[in-house]
Amino acid sequence: MSEQEIKVPDLGGADEVEIIEIIVSEGDSVEEEDPILTVESDKASVELPAPAAGKITKITVKVGDKVKEGDVIGMLAASGDAGGSDDDGSDKSDEPEPKAESKTEAKSEDSKPAPRKKSGGSRTEVVKVPSLDGFEDVPVIEINVAEGDTVGEEDPLVTVESDKATMEIPSPYAGKIGKILVKEGDKLSEGSDLLEMTIEDDGGEEEDSADSGESSQPDSQESKPEQKQGKQESAPQPQGSTYEPPSPGTKVHAGPAVRKLARELGADLTRVKGSGPKGRIVKDDVHAYVKSQLQQAQQGGGVATGSGIPGVKLPDFSQFGEIEREGMSRMMAATATNMQRSWLNVPHVTQFDDADITEMEAFRKGQKAAGEKRGVKMTPLPFLLKACAAALAELPQFNVSLDMERKEVVRKKYIHIGIAVDTPHGLMVPVIRDVDQKGLWELAAESAELAQKARDKQLKPAEMQGACFTITSLGGIGGTAFTPIVNTPEVAILGVSKASMKPVWDGKEFQPRLMLPLSLSYDHRAVNGADAARFTNLLTQLLGDIRTLLL
């Protein structure tokens, strides 16, 4: 056994890349081509493989370091027969490098057509549907190109509609549209064939393609041998006896693409069992885990989800007069399902209060000229957002989610707030992130932009995820109070009704004051009544004197 340097192999033309994950530790034994660490360029992430089988004796880099081809990232005590030891001893660093290079190149060559190697040539690619943020079977509602069109990279090809929003699928290349393989009304999922495209190659494109090819190949290669096994294992999982996830807190071995998928699907990687080399989690593992959780909810959770409640049998309404039937939109059906799930699973309580916003409204209206200069209209919503953010920071028990399966409370260290928007297509809830770190003008501009995107059905799935709390306002329509339904897995929601002038006793006489009705619904499993009263009290204080928002 001889010790050799582990060097960064050919990076497909990338000059300098950042280390985003170190997969092994000193003392670990690895096989040739096992991933050692993951680096990320401006084009893709790539796993760097071990140049030989052996034992990691030293790691000379850390996460965040930037490396380039030829840099030493660690030391490896290579294992092998006598002949192998003599060869390694005579040339410690030069021999392993070609192995890493040749393997890396082989992966690119296997996944790419031969014409890519020719500078100035052309090739035909089948463009496939990229990740749809967990959605499947989304219908095509518009085809934005025609056969023979020339498009640039990221130009929209087709538009699809999910339960929540419409999404444009962009072109991954610049080129000429060949045969279009779909039509309006077809349902697509990730990986579906979309169209054929002719792409002109040059040297720079070849390097970019090789880079992206390397980043995607390891996941697909790892997942193929385990695909059948993953599918077979997922079937009995709902029984609750055969699936044994790793212990929470276990170190997770997964690449960036897998981690992104897990975030999009809401999967906890500490509970996903990896089927890749050395227990590494691949995409199929995440899909199998999510599928098992859904099956458990459907088959084993009848009582918890309320599915045991008898449905309402409808009469034949046509006997009373003329009727017409129409199918629910995907958005309406999804909203109905989510509302029912929240109502059946959450023990709701609603706390009511009134906030004196007389001074706040006077200040807001005084900003009209400044708003016209900025091109932004200052509405009451930014003040509500800031007040709620301050209340969530002061009373963090409202900024949690309950994991009943693991009997844990998930405490969030960020403050993202959803705003319910009434659209012609149904209720949509875009999310404003880091509300506590933004000013009133920034919140006014962002909330207006998101509301318009919701009305135009242009919201991306990521713009409707991650909320800690929700505000829903009917003040522009009317009403004095209502009981909003908590948007699970959040534990509270604030309903805002129409402000009205009321006589308020100031200790000496009645004064006309503009009062804003607030309705705070909360999950009584996470929040008690006293805390709810403190929350609304704090909101009324903050809205009653907006100077306190600066403290």
Active site members? 524
78: which strand partners?
Answer: 2, 54
Q: Which residues of 256-268 are buried (b: 16+ CB within 10 A; e: fewer)?
A: bbbbebbebeebb
- CA 510 → CA 74, 249, 359, 507, 514, distances in Å? 78, 59, 17, 8, 13
At 156, give phi and psi (nearest 5°).
-70, 135
270 and 250 Cβ atoms separated by less than 8 Å: yes
Nearby residues of 504 by Cβ (< 8 Å), 6 or more positions away = 356, 510, 511, 512, 513, 515
Spatial CA neighbour of 521 closest among 482, 493, 487? 493
Residue 242 half-sphere exposure toward CB, CA atoms < 13 A: 12
Residue 46's CB is within 10 A of a number of other CB atoms, namely 29
Distance CA 535, CA 548 (A): 15
Distance CA 469, CA 415 (A): 8
168 burial type by CB count under 10 A (0-12 exposed, 13-18 middle, 19+ buried): middle
Residue 137's CB is within 10 A of a number of other CB atoms, namely 12
Distance CA 372, CA 365 (A): 12
